[in-house]
Amino acid sequence: EPYDFGLDDEHEWFVDEIIGHRHLDDGQLEFEVRWSLGDTTWEPAGNCTDLSALDRYLELHGVQDVHFLRRRSRPSKKGRRGSNL
């Protein structure tokens, strides 16, 4: 699906799928976008609102709105296995 992020038609790219998301420390949400040429970039959520790829991503996560996407927890050191020797 074409999405130009404000560029002219000569620079139009095609989104293949959204493959991930992250919440930044300042609270902003970004999506990891895989482009038709195989590149991946992190894009602000505001740039992705009209993409059918976002609709598919939300459906896969069982939510209807980006505000319900879970923050990924950082792995704790307690969960790591280690030697007690």
Which sequence spans correspond to the domains of the chain? 15-71
Opening angle at CA 31, ends 30 and 32, nearest 5: 125
Nearest to 30 by CA among 55, 8, 48, 10: 48
Which tops the pLDDT comparison, 6 or 69?
A: 69
**Percent of the chain having pLDDT more than 90?**
55
33, exposed or middle or buried, with CB in 10 Å at 0-12, 13-18, 19+? buried
Please tell me the CATH code under which domain 15-71 is placed: 2.40.50.40
pLDDT in tens, 25-79: 999 999 999 998 889 999 999 999 889 999 999 999 999 999 999 886 554 445 4
